[in-house]
Amino acid sequence: MLGGYFTSWLGLKRAIVPLIIIMNLPNAVYVYLSMAVPANTVLIATALGVEMFGYGFGFVGVILLMMQEIAPGKYQAAHYAFANSLMNLASSCLAQ
């Protein structure tokens, strides 16, 4: 919800760069966790919370970009569903 408010406040053109940076925040968190290997569970839980926030906040940019660039026109819902399916297929293929 915060990502949507942020994007509506700035507009997608001005918000896309911060959203991309925030979307990459989970990568920085995992690099830190892999290098520091903390034993403190509170630090690990905080880092994972930051990771989840960054992914959720930044993912708004991906969704809005798909809706505007890939799904304009008469059949917006169908185009969005197709683009979302391709994105999920690609991410599941990369995970394996």
Q: What pLDDT digit, counting tens, does each position of 3-41 carry?
A: 778 888 888 788 888 888 888 888 888 898 889 888 888
How many other C-beta atoms can be found within 10 angstroms of the C-beta atom of residue 92?
9
Number of folded domains in the chain? 1
> Mean pLDDT in the chain?
81
- The pLDDT score that the predictor gives to residue 78 is 79
DSSP 74: T
Question: Each residue of 48-57: pLDDT tens digit?
Answer: 898 888 888 8
Q: Given phi > 0 = left and psi -120 to 50 = alpha, else beta, which region is 73? A: left
Q: Is the pLDDT of residue 92 over 80?
A: no
Range of the domain at 76: 2-95
Q: Given phi > 0 = left and psi -120 to 50 = alpha, else beta, which region is 38? A: beta
